[in-house]
Amino acid sequence: MRAPSLLWAAAAALCASRTSAAALPGAGKPPAPKKTPAFFLAGDSTTAVDGGWGDGLLAALTPAARAPSANAGKSGATTASFVAEGRWDGVLALVRAHAAEFESYVTISEDEGRAREDSAWANAASSQFGHNDQKPQNNVSFETYQANLIRFAEEIRSLGGTPILVSSLTRRVFPAGSEHNATDSLAAERGAALAAAAAVRGALAVDLNGASLRYINAIGRDAAWAYNWGEDGKDTTHLNPHGTVVFGRMVIDLLLRERPRLAPWFVPDPAISDRIWNNLPA
């Protein structure tokens, strides 16, 4: 199985009850921002190309917003390795380069891996690293992990961008006899992302972990495993191409609850959104 990608972002509270299509994010068509948004995604393999939700989000952007945006997710990354390998500097360089023309959002996704294993938007930066920081062999303490998330968010704010802390995509692991009760393996990382978002003024929080866990529990094991990566369908951490679309859409919908004015920059998919928020296989 591939090393989980790093999605480290802070989580916003998600409504657990069903939401009608009329109540979906962006339904009111709020005014667009004055600048076109650019999205830069930082995280591990659960954000990255081939197995993560990141490209599902980027593919839904309008052409003007899609052009400058980038998925900088790296398989196996932790918050520490992302810095050591110069990848975080690369994200900061993207924000600087586009600051004059674009409103930058950076998604910072907490990864599932801090204790077990181990992005950037309108200039928004979103990063997700929980999966790999969670792994003991990566020697990233919980305190260091949370401090790194706060540091990343503060650096994006200092450049005029908006950090989006995204909690990790849930693993689709169901104990025997528990087809509607997946293991909640990332609760601590979810809390760290939310706390980091709360600590940085202007940061947004997207609770992908909480939302995705509730969703797979609602649709059940067999339906959830339809999103598994790999020809054998046994990778319950990463996403196949359709799973990328579905969970990318989930992140979009959650983000638009926090920042409705970004709605004009995303192409809506009411069919998938309606099924997600009504707890149906999408």
Q: How confident is the model at residue 90, as a pLDDT?
A: 96
Return the closest-CA partner of residue 82 out of 137, 42, 117, 121.
Answer: 42
- The per-residue pLDDT of the chain, averaged, comes to 82
Tell me how far apart the alpha carbons of residues 230 and 222 are, in angstroms, rounded to a whole number: 16
Per mean pLDDT, which of 26-30, 150-154, 163-167, 221-225 is the most reliable? 221-225
Over residues 242-262, mean pLDDT: 98
pTM above 0.95, yes or no: no
Delineate the domains of the chain, giving CATH numbers in brackets.
Answer: 23-277 (3.40.50.1110)
Q: How confident is the model at residue 131, as a pLDDT?
A: 41
**Which of 57-66, 71-80, 141-150, 161-170 bottoms out in mean pLDDT, i.e. has the lowest?**
141-150
Q: How confident is the model at residue 133 (pLDDT cuts 50, 70, 90)?
A: very low
Asked if pLDDT for residue 171 goes beyond 70, the answer is yes
Tell me how far apart the alpha carbons of residues 61 and 39 are, in angstroms, rounded to a whole number: 9
Asked if pLDDT for residue 2 goes beyond 90, the answer is no
- Can you give the three-state secondary structure of 207-257, one letter per residue? CHHHHHHHHHHHHCHHHHHHHEECCCCCEEEEECHHHHHHHHHHHHHHHHH
- Residue carrying structure tokens 């199985």: 1
